Amino acid sequence: MQVTVANSRVSGTARAPPSKSYTHRALLAAGYAEGALVRGPLVSADTKATARAVDRFDGDAERVDRDWEITGFLGDPAVPADVIDCANSGTTMRLVTGTAALVDGTTVLTGDRSLRSRPQGPLLDAVESLGGTARSTRGNGQAPLIVDGPIEGGHVEIPGDVSSQFITSLLMAGAVTDRGVELELTTELKSAPYVDITLDVLDSFGVDAEERTNGYRVAGGQTYEPTDGEYEVPGDFSSTSYLLAAGALAADEEVVVEGARPSAQGDAAIVDVLREMGAAVDWEQSTGRIFVERSALDGVTVSVADTPDLLPTIAVLGAAADGSTHITNAEHVRYKETDRVSAMAEELAKLGASVEEHPDELVVHGSDSDLGGAHLDGRGDHRIVMSLAIAGLVADGETTIDGAEHVDVSFPDFFDALADLGADVDR
C-alpha cells in the first residue's frame, strides 16, 4: 500500500494503541498458565503470530470482543503438528523458541524473508547449554530454526548486546522447568527496559524472577496464575512517540494523547527527549494523558541503548530541529526488521535532511536540512513507515511512502489516527 502525506497542521485527541511488547508477553504467559483473559490487547500482525504459536503448542487463542481468551497448556507445550510461522515478528520467534525448548519433541520455526535474516544464534546456543538441541537449518544462526527439548534448566551464559528478547524467552520458559534458569550476561545488556516489562508481566502472572548483579534468575517449578484470571494490557509508548512527535512538529493548537499511563516501558523516555529538545509537553500520569504543542526544537545527544525503537522518531525530530542531533549507542538498532540506522539515514536524505551515518551513531543536522516532499521506501518496517509519515507533515509538498501497510505490525489504525488529527493523508 502507498500513502501520501502532505504538509499539514494537526490538533485534537488521539489514543495510543495497546502495548505490543506487553501483549506478546501476556499472550504467551497465558499460554503457560491454565489460561487467562487478556484484556485490551494490541491486535496486530505481530501479536496474531504469537497467538497462533500458542495454538500450535496445544493452547487455544480466541478473540472475544476486544479481548483475547486464552486456554493455556499449563507449562507443558505439546509437539506442534505443523511448522510455526512467525511471519515478520521477531518477538514471536525469540519468545517461543524458549517454549519450543520445553517440548518433548521437535519444533520448527520460520518467518518471512526479513525475519529469516535476523540473528538468533545466541539463543540457540543457550538452549544447547541448557540441554536441548537447537540449530539453524542454514547453519548461519538465522531461521528457519529446529528446536528439540525438553530442557530441565540450569546456568547459561548469554550476550546482552544482541537482543533482550533472548533473556525474556529464557526467563519465561525457565519458570516451568525443573531447575529454573540462571542467566549470566557476558556483555552489557542493551534494551534493558524490555526485560523490565517481562519481569512486570511475570509478576502479574504470579511468577517470581529477579535481576542479579550480572544477570537474571528465575526459579523452576512455578505456575503461571494471573490475578482473577485476567490481565489488562497498558498503552504503547513506542507508538505514542509518533503522535507526540506529530504534535511537537505540526500542532496547530495542541495534541492530546490518551492511554499513556506509567508502566515499565523504556520508550516513555520520549517525553524527556522532547522536553530536552525544548518541546512544550505535559504528562498527567494519573489520567494517562500527554499534552504537546508545536515548539521550536533544538538538537540533542540521545543514547538509544535501552530504547532502540525510538531511533526513527528522534531522527525525524532532529531533522526539524535547530543544530545537530546525535543518536548514540545505536548499533543494535541495525538488527530490527531492517537496518534502521541506514534506513533512516537514506530516507531522510531523500527528504533533504543532512545526515551522517556511523557504525554506532546517527547524526542529523537539522540546521543544514531543508525538508521537501519525496517518494520514500518504508523498507517493510512499521517504525520506518510511521516516522517518515511524521516527517511528511513538515516537509514542503507531498511525501509518498511505499509499503505503508506494514503499520499493521504495531499500530494498525495509525493513518486513521493521523487523519483524525487533521493531517492530509491519502491512502
- Residues noted as catalytic: 309
Read off the C-alpha cell for 45: 500482525
On whether the CB atoms of residues 102 and 150 are closer than 8 A, the answer is yes
The response to whether 261 counts as a known ligand-binding position is no
The response to whether 63 counts as a known ligand-binding position is no
Read off the C-alpha cell for 281: 509537553
Output the CA–CA distances (angstroms, integers) from residue 123 to 12, 107, 109, 114, in the order listed: 44, 15, 13, 18
**36 - beta bridge partners?**
70
The response to whether 366 counts as a known ligand-binding position is no
The response to whether 66 counts as a known ligand-binding position is no
The response to whether 136 counts as a known ligand-binding position is no
Output the CA–CA distances (angstroms, integers) from residue 230 to 35, 39, 201, 205, in the order listed: 9, 7, 12, 9
CA distance 252 to 389: 17
The response to whether 118 counts as a known ligand-binding position is yes
The response to whether 164 counts as a known ligand-binding position is yes
Helix (H, G, I), strand (E, B) or coil at 26: helix
Report DSSP state, residue 308: G
Amino acid present at 23: T
CA distance 222 to 135: 28
The response to whether 113 counts as a known ligand-binding position is no
The response to whether 190 counts as a known ligand-binding position is no
CA atoms within 13 A on the CB side of 335: 17
**67 - beta bridge partners?**
64
The response to whether 116 counts as a known ligand-binding position is no
- Pairing mode of beta strands 133-136, 145-148: antiparallel
The response to whether 15 counts as a known ligand-binding position is no
- Binding site members for phosphoenolpyruvate: 20, 90, 118, 165, 340, 383
- Binding site members: 20-21, 25, 90, 118, 163-165, 191, 309, 336, 340, 383
- Binding site members for 3-phosphoshikimate: 20-21, 25, 163-165, 191, 309, 336
